[in-house]
Amino acid sequence: MDKKNEYKIGWFSSGRGEGSRDLLRTAWRSIAEGEIRAEISFIFSNREPGQAAGSDAFFELVNSYHIPLINVSSRKFRDKFGEEWRPKFEEEAMRRLEGFHPDLCVLAGYMLIAGEEVCQRYPMLNLHPAAPGGPKGTWREVIWQLMEQNASQTGVMMHRATPQLDEGPPVTYCTFSLRGKPFDKLWKAIEGRSIAEVKEQEGEDNPLFRQIRKHGLTREFPLIITTIKAFSEGRVRLEGDQVVDHNGKPIKAYDLTEEIDEKVKEALAE
């Protein structure tokens, strides 16, 4: 494929820690090895060099890949404008991104809620640690809700980013069962106890909590990468507010469970 005609990805990340770097490495490797026929055309961060050691390490990695890096410090805008900082920050971000025309944007460890203008300008996807229709909130809140509901299934999804946290419609997803091995014995171990008691007595060290997290976390990177691949191949795309398949037929969301399961077998067997 001609370089200028490659599918273009916009990457938004605060770059806080090793997870942000690992995800970028994974995406870069998938592109370099030809698994994904696309390019990362820019990386935008709401931090700037010198602000934190973690983000500095992330910026060093970005520069090693020779990807254009745009830094607009949300902290500086907060400090300067107080409660009125966000519209001014978004305005500056949009100004700095004017020359880029990504086909798809991915929020990859971006610690801000994307504003209305950027969500309208770009098709933006965000990761959520539950299947469509599942619990909302942080991954911790999701797991406790799953345990409270005695859920039999969960998953991970990429959803359309909106200014309302976790409210965007699902775009791609995968699911996995919370029954059978190794889950049945872990459910049995908390029988007769309320989730409030489990939280108080064991917290996140509870084996069922940890196992749900393990299975979800193992699928997060593969889902992001496989979603980008599916978009770059035209198997799924966004048309306005709708998700459509390769024939242009509207769908509720694109199920990538089979592909993700193939990718995570080895990791979960460890």
- Does residue 199 sit in the same domain as residue 82? no
- Does residue 134 sit in the same domain as residue 98? no
The domain boundary residue, chosen from 122, 154, 184: 122
In terms of Cβ atoms closer than 10 Å to its own Cβ (0-12, 13-18, 19+), residue 169 is middle
Q: What is the pLDDT of residue 270?
A: 62
Cα 116 to the center of its chain, rounded Å? 18
CB 70 within 8 Å of CB 45? yes
Name the pLDDT band for 7 (thresholds 50, 70, 90).
Answer: very high
The domain boundary residue, chosen from 99, 122, 145: 122
d(CA 226, CA 223): 5
Q: What is the pLDDT of residue 2?
A: 44
- Does residue 243 sit in the same domain as residue 192? yes
- Structural domain of residue 9, as residue ranges? 1-122
Q: What is the pLDDT of residue 30?
A: 94
d(CA 39, CA 6): 7
Percent over 90 (pLDDT), the chain: 81
Model confidence at 114: pLDDT above 90: no
pTM of structure: 0.90
Percent over 70 (pLDDT), the chain: 96
d(CA 46, CA 165): 18
| CATH number for position 8 | 3.40.50.170
Q: What is the pLDDT of residue 5?
A: 61
- Of 129, 97, 136, whose CA–CA distance to 114 is shortest? 97
- Does residue 140 sit in the same domain as residue 92? no
- Does residue 77 sit in the same domain as residue 171? no
- Does residue 116 sit in the same domain as residue 192? no
Name the pLDDT band for 24 (thresholds 50, 70, 90).
Answer: very high
Model confidence at 112: pLDDT above 90: no
Number of domains in the chain: 2
